[in-house]
Amino acid sequence: MEHEKVIVLNFGGQYDQLIARRVRDHGVYCDVVPYTVPVEELRKARPSGIIFTGGPNSVFDPSSPHYTADILSLGIPILGICYGAQLMAWMGGGVVETAERSEYGNIRLRVTSADSLLFRDVPRESVVWMSHTDRIKTLPEGFSVTAETEDCPVAAMENKQKRLYAVQFHPEVTHSAFGDRMLYNFLFGVCGCKGDWQMESFIEDTVAALRKQIGDKPVVLGLSGGVDSSVAAALLSRAVGRQLTCVFVDHGLMRKDEGDIVENTFTSLFDMNFVRVNCADEFLAALRGVTDPEQKRKIIGEEFYRVFWSEIRRQKETGFFAQGTIYPDRVESGKGDADKIKTHHNRVKTPEDIEFLGIIEPLRDLFKDEVRRVGEKLGLPKELVWRQPFPGPGLGVRIIGEITREKIEVLQNADWVLRDEMAKNGYDKQLSQFFCVLPTVSTVGVMGDHRTYDHLIAIRAVTTDDFMTADWAKIPYDILARVSSRITNEVKHVNRVVYDVTTKPPATVEWE
């Protein structure tokens, strides 16, 4: 079934997929394509609308990403955002200049056109998220100003007749108070969308595409037991059944009893071949004496690589290789020109001596919350769908300094207490991610009549929509007090608990 769709034309902005996600939230299918896609391909795609993303460049710089002005004459509604707004002005014959004063962060917007479709049901004044150095100085012919700020006289413009709209701010981020309403107005008021695409459609289309791509060939998936690989496994299992082999490498760095839980869950729920490789001793031996975080990641990655592919080589036949990669993995591991933020992500490089027919990433364009919705629609258990995100190196990135068996046990037990207490009081449903960290810092304490010198445990808990940014969770003091009391009383060799109150950015969610 062919669905109406909107195309996001990416000019190097970091929010390209976030825009797409906001569009899909309104029931409209959305594709993200690079700005190098020819205009004729866009014409043939017959989208209901096109959105230009932001970007870090200046439109008057010859080396910046540009596009042919023919796109403005396709008769397709277009919304330009930030750099995309400046590009629309530049292509239409307007003038863009470096602003006397840049705007960053929350800025008060004033709507100056009461009859603009884009600002229908939006208050005359509201807060939007700005991030720009350049601004539109002179409007293209046929355009009019529809909103302004104190330092930006053209915060929004439109050519109603040609259905061309542009905003200097970012309506896709939650900081823009009525940004979602503006996107809704563009989709339904300007583009005339019906909103008939739902997650069931994604599942149906993806399963059909997987069957067509895979045929009767085998598929291998590295299964961690986390949400992403689990949902990927469910999709592949529905598509090809026992053609799928899932390999679970238990490196001994998982949460308490999690290896057994993973095995029991997947052998009972899925029609697949499940292989568990127990190799905790090998990982600990390789990590002995290592304290540098990047070196630890490298060793864990290399050891995982060795164990995983040794098991794959035992398979009788190689077909396709599948991964549970989601969009933030691609962004934070250096998608396009994005800065590389972390090295522990879901993508695995295949060895040269193993030839696959192709790489399959069925969740590559979805955010975490969308992946969870797919899992729910596939009938996965709630406790699996809403399982806490867990990094590939496991507790290896939550133990600061050298990793030992004793430290792993301390952290596993402390983390279990935290998760148990949060589940008991129901507060876990209000958190996006929470876990314990072992900083390998010893502090003085008193237990009974004796002074102690034992481990400190740090608690990290965040709330977020998409894990691109995150805020520290405001857990009530009485809950934190119970968690602290239980950890120091129930977990041996812990005499102090602290709480991390840092947002992302400047910090990452994980400590290492």
What tens digit of pLDDT does each residue of 57-102 get? Answer: 888 888 889 999 999 999 999 999 999 999 999 999 999 888 878 8
Distance CA 445, CA 301 (A): 37
Stretch 436-446: mean pLDDT: 91
- The closest of 345, 344, 318 to 330, measured between CA atoms, is 345
Distance CA 20, CA 183 (A): 11
Distance CA 223, CA 233 (A): 8
Q: Among 99-113, 310-324, 380-394, 400-414, whose mean pLDDT is lowest? A: 380-394
Is the pLDDT score of 323 beyond 70?
Answer: yes
Which domains does the chain show, CATH number per domain? 5-190 (3.40.50.880), 199-385 (3.40.50.620), 404-499 (3.30.300.10)
* Contact predicate 185/22, CB 8 Å: no
Query: What's the Cα-to-Cα distance from 185 to each of 1, 26, 116, 285, 369, rounded to whole Å?
Result: 25, 11, 10, 59, 24
The pLDDT-based confidence of 225 (bands split at 50, 70, 90) is confident
Q: Please report which helix (H) or strand (E) contains residue 456, including its range.
A: strand 450-463
Stretch 13-32: mean pLDDT: 88
User: 351: which DSSP letter?
Assistant: P
What is the pLDDT at residue 339? 35
Catalytically active residues are 82, 170, 172
Is the pLDDT score of 347 beyond 60?
Answer: no
Query: What is the dihedral angle through the alpha carbons of 336, 339, 343, 344, rounded to the nearest 10 degrees?
Result: -80
What is the pLDDT at residue 331? 54
Distance CA 443, CA 205 (A): 55
Stretch 476-492: mean pLDDT: 96
Amino acid at position 396, single letter: G
Q: Among 117-126, 341-350, 424-433, whose mean pLDDT is lowest? A: 341-350
Distance CA 388, CA 226 (A): 8
Is the pLDDT score of 333 beyond 70?
Answer: no
CB-count burial class (<10 Å; 0-12, 13-18, 19+) for 145: middle
Q: Among 106-120, 150-164, 176-190, 386-400, whose mean pLDDT is lowest? A: 386-400
The pLDDT-based confidence of 342 (bands split at 50, 70, 90) is very low
Q: The tokens of 192 are what?
A: 């005339």
The pLDDT-based confidence of 341 (bands split at 50, 70, 90) is very low
pTM above 0.75, yes or no: no
3-state DSSP assignment of residue 270: coil
Q: Of 10-19, 78-87, 368-377, which has the strongest mean pLDDT?
A: 78-87
What is the pLDDT at residue 355? 85
pLDDT tens-digit series, residues 449-461: 677 889 999 999 9
Mean pLDDT of the chain: 89
Distance CA 78, CA 85 (A): 10
* Contact predicate 157/146, CB 8 Å: yes
Query: What is the dihedral angle through the alpha carbons of 258, 261, 263, 267, rounded to the nearest 10 degrees?
Result: -160
Distance CA 237, CA 471 (A): 36
Higher-scoring residue by pLDDT: 424, 334: 424
Percent of the chain with pLDDT over 70: 95
* Contact predicate 250/223, CB 8 Å: no
What is the pLDDT at residue 348? 63
3-state DSSP assignment of residue 105: strand
CB within 8 Å of 112: residues ≥ 6 apart: 145, 146, 147, 148
Is the pLDDT score of 344 beyond 50?
Answer: no
Give CA angle at 297 (509, 266), nearest 5°: 75
What is the pLDDT at residue 125? 95
pLDDT tens-digit series, residues 255-267: 998 888 888 888 8
